[in-house]
């Protein structure tokens, strides 16, 4: 029969105790200076060395060469209190869980009155002291406050707050802590070397993680792995299966599927977790642990190996590639979602349902309206358009500002007086482009995101969605988005609807994170574009027009005010008048994101609108004489007769 590892390697001196320098250093100093108190309280998590330290302190006090900070290990007291010793008569260990009443306290008080049998002090070690009742502590209060000179008390507990304050105030309190992972890993490696056991890479990291900083728990797990391994080598696969963690192959496939946004592979990994009978909560914890490692790898770069101890070079390189596929913001977004899902995985809800919902939320950053979710969407768009780096993004709009002005110039009317006016709007169009770092989105990317934009518009305002759902993306270039309207009435409705332009702008900004300007294109105007190229002077005379003239009501001209002067500088309005039909087509470039047009006044023309001709009195065709001056015509009209026109212009 083999003794457990935590018993075979129990420390015998304060120097052998790992991870508790905040306790061992002051105790050794007090022992060297002979300033030892009559009562001590050791508190901390389980398996961190409280009872072991109490035994070491008893050895130091009763050592033949003591009191000393380093027991000799040769005297009878040191031998009896060693890891293989049977215990000393003058050192009494009491389990307070079963000796917690007033009668037990009275018995202890009677035993304390007797002098030690052989050693210098009679030492009482009360383990699990928090189990003592209040009455039991009160019964011990007098002996703890004023003990005999040969008596020392050491209380060990995991819950010091349950020890009554009158006892705590009469002791020196030393808090123990969990051992850091780095020290625990080094300790386990040295222990495996002493035992002659070969351990596969990554096994000790799993042991340290399972132990949670407790030395006794970690040694028990390692002892279990050594006992269940073939020969003298601990395999990684057996350690993963025994400790209940997710295998690296399954974990890598799930994380890579999330980084590549491969929905089928991600949901297949979830199905494998359920079908193989693994704990879904443990799988989520492993995913969160891997995402944390990826965040460290992305942040630390080549120095990540110093932080992630026990990870092989191949695994570290694989994690570096996964971190590059994710991106910093999307990694943080995924970690937040996984952490929330881990917190919510409780109760009788199906674990598979929780896992699938978590995977769906990670794959769709648009479902998260927070700042982290927005940054994740921006990073995904940057990777889609091939943006090289964050530093190159601000420089792109500045270098392309001059082509913006040159590109908008051909859109001006062909008349000479009006061709000189547009440079000011063109310069203002380029200025916001330089101020806002707009990534180089393509028209195809805009069309791909258009349905998502319309969904945002629908959530924000139903009335705005009714106006905008028929719009089609024609072109996106230099920060200007050209939209196709089905008719002129749709354009007027869009301009006069009030909130439709605002809601559409905000939806585009929330979805793509950029500032755009609108340029409408009416289908009727697009079809008539080839006819407009003909000069106005060559139009068919009114006398030969096959249709009757249409009376056109002139639109009132909007006068720019001081509030709208800056807006009018960023708008370009092209007005083309057809002599045959008197139809006016207007091309508009809307204002930037900070402007919120609520009516037609937001669309202020940069050029004066062509004035419509005043309505004339009703005439007979090809006649210059008004109907009211024609002789006898009123009599004929009374009898229902209609005047006849002749080619000579008379009646």
Domains in the chain, CATH or no CATH each:
5-177 (3.40.50.300), 246-386 (1.20.272.10), 403-534+563-602 (no CATH), 616-651 (no CATH)
Q: Which pLDDT does position 614 carry in this prediction?
A: 46
To the nearest whole number, what is the mean pLDDT of the chain? 75
Contact 490, 526 (CB under 8 A): no
The more confidently predicted of residues 429 and 26 is 26
Question: Nearest to residue 206, comparing CAs of 272, 285, 279, 271?
Answer: 285
H/E segment holding residue 481: strand 480-485
If pLDDT is split at 50, 70 and 90, which confidence band does 644 have? low
6-20, 241-255, 279-293, 514-528, range with the lowest pLDDT: 514-528
Q: Which pLDDT does position 483 carry in this prediction?
A: 87
% residues pLDDT > 70 (the chain): 68
Work out the average pLDDT over 472-491. Answer: 84
Contact 69, 76 (CB under 8 A): no
Evaluate if residue 35 carries a pLDDT over 60. Answer: yes
Neighbours of 197 (CB within 10 A): 16
Q: Which pLDDT does position 392 carry in this prediction?
A: 35
Neighbours of 113 (CB within 10 A): 11
Give the C-alpha separation, 72 to 596, whole Å.
Answer: 85
The more confidently predicted of residues 536 and 300 is 300
If pLDDT is split at 50, 70 and 90, which confidence band does 324 have? confident
Relative to beta strand 172-175, strand 151-157 is unpaired
**What secondary structure letter does DSSP report for 482?**
E
Give the C-alpha separation, 389 to 400, whole Å.
Answer: 18
Work out the average pLDDT over 141-170. Answer: 93
54-58, 209-213, 531-535, 572-576, range with the lowest pLDDT: 572-576
Work out the average pLDDT over 436-461. Answer: 77
Contact 279, 269 (CB under 8 A): no
Q: Which pLDDT does position 462 carry in this prediction?
A: 79
% residues pLDDT > 90 (the chain): 33
Evaluate if residue 539 carries a pLDDT over 90. Answer: no
Q: Which pLDDT does position 463 carry in this prediction?
A: 79
pTM of the model: 0.55
Write the pLDDT tens digit of every residue in 69-86: 999 989 999 999 998 888
Q: Which pLDDT does position 501 carry in this prediction?
A: 82
Evaluate if residue 275 carries a pLDDT over 50. Answer: yes
In angstroms, what is the C-alpha Rg of the chain?
Answer: 43
Q: Which pLDDT does position 493 carry in this prediction?
A: 81
If pLDDT is split at 50, 70 and 90, which confidence band does 546 have? very low
Q: Which pLDDT does position 627 carry in this prediction?
A: 53
Evaluate if residue 476 carries a pLDDT over 60. Answer: yes
If pLDDT is split at 50, 70 and 90, which confidence band does 414 have? very low
Work out the average pLDDT over 314-331. Answer: 86
Evaluate if residue 500 carries a pLDDT over 50. Answer: yes
Write the pLDDT tens digit of every residue in 578-616: 333 333 343 333 343 334 333 433 444 444 444 444 444
Contact 501, 602 (CB under 8 A): yes
140-144, 398-402, 504-508, 624-628, range with the lowest pLDDT: 398-402
If pLDDT is split at 50, 70 and 90, which confidence band does 637 have? low
Evaluate if residue 151 carries a pLDDT over 50. Answer: yes
Three-state SS for 526-544 is HHCHHHHCCCHHHCCCHHH
Give the C-alpha separation, 405 to 84, whole Å.
Answer: 90
Q: How does 375-386 read in b/e, with b if 16+ C-beta sit within 10 Å?
A: bbbbbebbeeee
Give the C-alpha separation, 501 to 379, whole Å.
Answer: 27
Q: Which pLDDT does position 391 carry in this prediction?
A: 35
Question: Nearest to residue 111, comparing CAs of 90, 95, 127, 96?
Answer: 90
Q: Which pLDDT does position 628 carry in this prediction?
A: 53
Q: Which pLDDT does position 368 carry in this prediction?
A: 56
Q: For 345-422, where are the alpha helices, taking DSSP H only?
A: 351-363, 371-385, 395-399, 401-408, 416-419
Collapsed DSSP state (helix, strand, coil) of residue 314: helix
Q: Which pLDDT does position 372 carry in this prediction?
A: 58
Q: Which pLDDT does position 429 carry in this prediction?
A: 37
Q: Which pLDDT does position 152 carry in this prediction?
A: 95
Q: Which pLDDT does position 625 carry in this prediction?
A: 52
Write the pLDDT tens digit of every residue in 188-202: 999 999 999 999 988
The more confidently predicted of residues 171 and 646 is 171
Give the C-alpha separation, 631 to 227, whole Å.
Answer: 128
Contact 46, 58 (CB under 8 A): no
Which residues are CB-contacts of 526 (< 8 A; sequence separation ≥ 6)?
484
């Amino acid at each position: 029969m083999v003794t457990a590892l935590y018993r075979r390697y129990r420390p015998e001196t304060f120097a052998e105790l790992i991870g508790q320098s905040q306790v061992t250093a002051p105790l050794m100093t007090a022992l060297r200076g002979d300033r030892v108190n009559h009562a001590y309280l050791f508190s901390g998590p389980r398996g961190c060395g409280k009872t072991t330290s109490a035994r070491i302190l008893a050895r130091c006090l009763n050592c033949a060469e003591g009191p000393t900070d380093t027991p000799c290990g040769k005297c009878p007291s040191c031998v009896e209190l060693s890891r293989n010793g049977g215990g000393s008569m003058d050192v009494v260990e009491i389990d307070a869980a079963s000796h917690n009443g007033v009668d037990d306290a009275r018995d202890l008080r009677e035993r304390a009155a007797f002098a030690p049998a052989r050693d210098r002090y009679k030492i009482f070690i009360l383990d699990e002291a928090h189990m003592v009742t209040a009455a039991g502590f009160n019964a011990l209060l007098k002996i703890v406050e004023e003990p005999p000179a040969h008596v020392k008390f050491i209380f060990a507990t995991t819950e010091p707050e349950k020890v009554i304050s009158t006892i705590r105030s009469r002791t020196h309190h030393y808090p123990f802590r969990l051992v850091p992972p780095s020290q625990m890993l080094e300790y386990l490696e040295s222990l495996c070397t002493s035992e002659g056991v070969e351990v596969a890479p990554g096994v000790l990291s799993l042991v340290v993680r399972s132990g949670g900083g407790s030395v006794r728990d970690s040694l028990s797990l390692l002892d279990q792995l050594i006992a269940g391994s073939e020969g003298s080598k601990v395999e990684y696969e057996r350690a993963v299966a025994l400790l209940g963690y997710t295998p690296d192959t399954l974990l890598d496939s799930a994380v890579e599927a999330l980084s590549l946004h491969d929905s089928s592979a991600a949901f297949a990994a979830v199905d494998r977790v359920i079908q193989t009978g693994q704990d879904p909560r443990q799988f989520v914890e492993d995913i969160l642990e891997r995402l944390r490692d990826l965040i460290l790898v992305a942040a630390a770069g080549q120095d990540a190996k110093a932080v992630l101890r026990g990870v092989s070079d191949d695994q570290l390189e694989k994690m570096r590639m996964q971190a590059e596929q994710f991106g910093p913001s999307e990694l943080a977004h995924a970690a937040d979602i996984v952490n929330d899902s881990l917190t919510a995985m409780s109760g009788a809800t199906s674990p598979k349902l929780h896992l699938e919902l978590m995977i769906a939320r990670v794959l769709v950053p648009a479902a998260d309206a927070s700042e982290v979710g927005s940054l994740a969407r921006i990073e995904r768009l940057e990777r889609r358009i091939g943006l090289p780096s964050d530093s190159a993004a601000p420089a792109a709009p500045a270098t392309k500002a001059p082509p913006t002005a040159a590109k908008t110039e051909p859109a001006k009317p062909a008349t000479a007086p009006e061709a000189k006016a547009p440079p000011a709007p063109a310069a203002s169009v380029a200025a916001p482009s330089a101020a806002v770092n707009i990534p180089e989105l393509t028209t195809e990317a805009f069309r791909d995101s258009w349905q998502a934009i319309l969904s945002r518009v629908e959530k924000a305002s139903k009335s705005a969605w009714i106006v905008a759902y028929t719009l089609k993306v024609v072109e996106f270039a230099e920060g200007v988005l050209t939209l196709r309207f089905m008719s002129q009435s749709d354009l007027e409705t869009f301009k006069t609807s009030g909130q439709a332009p605002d809601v559409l702008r905000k939806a585009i900004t929330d979805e793509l994170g950029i500032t755009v300007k609108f340029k409408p294109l009416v289908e009727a105007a697009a079809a008539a574009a080839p006819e407009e190229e003909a000069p106005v002077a060559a139009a068919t005379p009114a006398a030969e027009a096959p249709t009757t003239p249409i009376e056109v009501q002139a639109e009132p001209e909007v006068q720019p005010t001081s509030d709208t002067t800056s807006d009018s500088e960023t708008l370009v309005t092209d007005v083309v008048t057809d002599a045959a039909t008197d139809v006016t087509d207007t091309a508009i470039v809307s204002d930037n994101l900070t402007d919120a047009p609520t009516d037609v006044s937001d669309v202020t023309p940069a050029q004066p609108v062509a004035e419509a001709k005043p309505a004339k009195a009703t005439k007979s065709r090809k006649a210059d004489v008004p109907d009211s001056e024609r002789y006898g015509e009123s009599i004929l009209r009374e009898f229902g007769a209609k005047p006849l026109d002749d080619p000579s212009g008379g009646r």
